[in-house]
Amino acid sequence: MKIDGTRSYACPVGAGYIDIGEILHRLQKQRYSGNVIVELYDYHPKDMLAGIRQSVRWVRNYLAL
């Protein structure tokens, strides 16, 4: 549930309303060298693996820029 009371839905990283690219950009700018965990939640089990693959692909592509 979002702060305005509307329902939020699970989606792969990079496809939602949170600006993950901006977060990663700021970490890179600060020369962050630790780990980043990407979590999916509220996913139906049959869709989980596809969502993980899409999320990992998005993060890898973003970091390769």
Domain positions in the chain are 1-65
Whether the model pTM is above 0.75: no
Cα dist from 17 to 5, 27, 46, 52, 61, whole Å: 15, 19, 23, 18, 18
Report the pLDDT value the prediction gives residue 40, as an integer from 0 to 100: 78
Cα dist from 15 to 29, 30, 33, whole Å: 23, 24, 25
* 38 pLDDT above the threshold of 80: no
Cα dist from 29 to 16, 22, 23, 32, 59, whole Å: 23, 10, 10, 8, 16
Report the pLDDT value the prediction gives residue 2, as an integer from 0 to 100: 66
